[in-house]
Amino acid sequence: MEKFYITTAIAYASGKPHIGNTYEIVLADAIARYKRLKGFDVYFQTGTDEHGEKIEGKALENGQTPQEFVDNISREIKRIWDVMNTSYDKFVRTTDEHHKKIVQHIFQKLYDQGDIYLDQYEGWYCTPCESFWTDNQLVDGKCPDCGREVKKRSEESYFFRMSKYQDRLIEYIENHPEFIQPEARKNEMINNFLKPGLQDLCVSRTSFDWGIRVPFNDKHIVYVWIDALSNYITNIGYDTDGGDDTFKKWWPADLHLVGKDIIRFHTIYWPILLMALDLPLPKQVFGHPWLLMNNDKMSKSKGNIMYADDLVSLFGVDAIRYYLLHEIPFQSDGTISYELIIERINSDLANILGNLVNRTISMAKKYFDGEIENKKILEDMDSSYIEMINSLEERVEKRMFKLEIGSALDEIFDTLRASNKYIDDTMPWSLAKEETKRDRLETVLYNLLEGIQVCAVFLKPFLPATSDEIFRQLQTNNLSFCFINDHKYCVLDPTPIFMRIDSSKKLAEIAANKEE
């Protein structure tokens, strides 16, 4: 069985994640479930990034020790991942003893082989980003990443010889066009960062305590990005002696999913670290776009934050999964609002999917008491419909291969739409009026049930609970990817899977709840 190792970025354990931070785990989950459906041996890892000055400060503000603070937040993040029904295999934490030990081994090895050296650092430090900048890098005297104030700092620090590996990395990226996706990000990395030349990276801090100690100098804490990035290997059995069989099975990762803001860390620092450790590079890093609120960043200070658990209580988990997976395009940022969520639920989930399943099962019940076989009384219009069902696997695969998740969902919904059209074209209610057309009527319903069954299989990775519910109502556990001629259906009474929402009523309800 071919293996597939997929990761998300590990989330900062600095606060409750909003719906934007939650997008990535849902995206990763859809891909992981899809790969499992296609027969891959999948390992899906996520978790929390728990060290650093910012977290130390937040814990202090809260009157907690950093460990108490991250224990709570990490638990909350995991709870939200579970609310979203994500099927990760392992939830890792950077405060885990094993991880800390291996990070120390990595630091020691890099030092012993001369890739890390001690020097004096002077520069501008941005605390929220935990990054040092030079005069030239500042934008209007502020941090180029987040635009906030920076402080002048001078400290003794360990440095990593990035420039030593720069040419090898450029060559690797150019010879592996699939490595950085989407392609625009690859060009950005090469032209803006690699070609101008890499500076040695400052990889330790002495100004705070909450982190992993440098093993041979306990004044120093390992730079949070070395600590965080290493999670991808420390948790699958890596050690500096080469690692165990589990590590050999899973590494290199097949896909690192990360947001566009941290693609630089994953396509420059991380590969160079791996080269220094003499390990193969991950096969692909995908920098996904962001979810915005009316084209603005979500933030507490702007008061425009939405949380996944609140949205799930309002609309249900699969409606929110659908929204995230469908509305955030492959390259450009997506946006979210209550109005847009309701619009999507009504137009796609209720009108197209819910309606089709409900109409079909109701007719099967009404005309045949739920028992449907293929009577094979075919007419011309059937062949294009059956062809559409049979091409779904290939159409979805094409999109998934390129990680165009929203378009993969469109392929399924096009097939559902075609099924609704097939009902309008065949008019089962008219066929039901003529006794001589009974076998044709049963054939039409059989074709529709097959269409629904195949769509439900491909919906599994995206809307797992809905897919299970369709299978329950069809009383089948057949997972075939294409139209089969000899199934026997015995469907249950229909239960609506998605209801239309009265938009103004729901919006008023949400507004009233907010005021409480």
- Could you list the residues that contact ligand MSP (CB under 6 A)? 9-12, 20-21, 23-24, 49, 228-229, 258-259, 261-262, 290-291, 298
Beta strands 285-288 and 180-181 are parallel
Closest CA to 158 of 208, 201, 123, 209: 201
Burial of 488 (0-12, 13-18, 19+ CB in 10 A): exposed
- Residue with the closest Cβ to ligand MSP? 259
Say whether 336 sits in a helix, a strand or coil: strand
Rounded Cα distance between 479 and 453, Å, is 8
Give the nearer residue to ligand MSP in terms of CB position, either 258 or 418.
258
CB of 9 to ligand MSP, least distance (A): 4
CB of 333 to ligand MSP, least distance (A): 8
* Pair of tokens at residue 448: 């529709």
Rounded Cα distance between 189 and 198, Å, is 11
CB of 308 to ligand MSP, least distance (A): 12
Rounded Cα distance between 507 and 342, Å, is 9
CB of 23 to ligand MSP, least distance (A): 4
CB of 224 to ligand MSP, least distance (A): 8
Give the nearer residue to ligand MSP in terms of CB position, either 145 or 397.
145
Give the nearer residue to ligand MSP in terms of CB position, either 263 or 389.
263
Give the nearer residue to ligand MSP in terms of CB position, either 21 or 104.
21
**Residue 274's CB: how many other CB atoms inside 10 A?**
20
Give the nearer residue to ligand MSP in terms of CB position, either 250 or 385.
250
CB of 287 to ligand MSP, least distance (A): 8
Rounded Cα distance between 150 and 194, Å, is 24
Query: Cα–Cα–Cα angle for 252, 254, 257, nearest 5°?
Result: 115
CB of 438 to ligand MSP, least distance (A): 53
Q: Classify residue 250 by its DSSP letter.
A: H
Give the nearer residue to ligand MSP in terms of CB position, either 261 or 369.
261
Q: b/e string for 90-118 if b means 16 or more Cβ within 10 A?
A: ebbbbbbeebbebbbbbbebbbeeebbee
**Residue 165 is which amino acid?**
Y
Residues paired with 373 in a beta bridge? 488
Q: Classify residue 494 by its DSSP letter.
A: P
Give the nearer residue to ligand MSP in terms of CB position, either 66 or 259.
259
Closest CA to 455 of 471, 443, 438, 435: 471
* Pair of tokens at residue 366: 């009404």
Crossing angle of helices 380-390 and 405-426, in 10° steps, is 160
Phi, psi of 369 (to 5 degrees): 55, 30
CB of 13 to ligand MSP, least distance (A): 8
CB of 14 to ligand MSP, least distance (A): 7
Give the nearer residue to ligand MSP in terms of CB position, either 258 or 497.
258
Say whether 15 sits in a helix, a strand or coil: coil
CB of 53 to ligand MSP, least distance (A): 13
Give the nearer residue to ligand MSP in terms of CB position, either 154 or 294.
294
CA atoms within a 13 Å half-sphere pointing along the CA-CB vector of 221: 17
Give the nearer residue to ligand MSP in terms of CB position, either 27 or 392.
27
